[in-house]
Amino acid sequence: MKNAFTISICCFSLISAASAAAIPWWEQATVCKLDTTKCYPSMGTGYASELWDSVTGCWGMKYICPEALLSDEYMPVPMGRKEISAGTNINKDFNTDILNGDCFGVRKTTNNGAMASINGEYIPVWCNGILNDVDEYLENGEITYGAQPTCQDLADYGYVATVNGQCYGKYYDPYNYYIECDGSSITPSRIIILNGADYMASSDSSPSDESAASKLFDSMQSISESQRKIYFTND
């Protein structure tokens, strides 16, 4: 009985060894393998699916755009999930959840894209062609990192610092409007409809006081009445 049991064990060992020999060595259970878990459910443009994120223990990294990084880079940089979550080397003015071409990272905006984040503060995105010095072009317009244009800077070209769609800078034809700035605000104190008047013309002929104004009004009313009798005889 003992011999029979020993023979059975030997036969089982031979069968197991034969089965193991049929499996390639790199697929056998005793061989350590990297986890096939993916870091992201789907990875296309903007992802390095062939890179192993050793910190998180999964396949795939995001390419972060160079302008979204604090370090000087010329090409997108692959980064792991925990590194991105911690904000390591990432400019806080950028959103790395949004794809920007072939990498992730677009400047944060608000007010339907009319304001952009610079150093943690939101500044106007000016409509194309308004700024003299442009530091960066965005989807809705242009921004400058330095001092923003004053009310008078804009008024000289017929513009007012108000939202115009998804950017700042509404145009008022100087022949029809006069933009008045008080110097303390980026927005004008008044916008005057000219109705054909020349706001630069001298006002010397204007009535000097209430009595003169009343006489001028009486004269205008008299002329109007006489003209009405001529042209509206059926009244």
pLDDT in tens, the chain (235 residues): 445 444 444 444 444 445 555 778 767 777 676 678 999 999 999 999 999 999 999 999 999 999 999 999 999 999 999 999 999 899 999 999 999 999 999 999 999 999 999 999 999 999 999 999 999 999 999 999 999 999 999 999 999 999 999 999 999 999 899 999 987 789 999 998 887 655 555 555 666 666 766 676 677 667 667 766 665 665 5
Rg (CA), the chain: 38
Distance (Å, rounded) from C-alpha 158 to C-alpha 129? 12
Task: Provide the CB-side half-sphere exposure for 8 (13 A, CA).
Answer: 5
CB 103 within 8 A of CB 78: no
Residue 137, both tokens: 């072009």
pTM equals: 0.67
Q: Where are the alpha helices (DSSP H) in the chain?
A: 2-22, 81-86, 151-155, 210-231
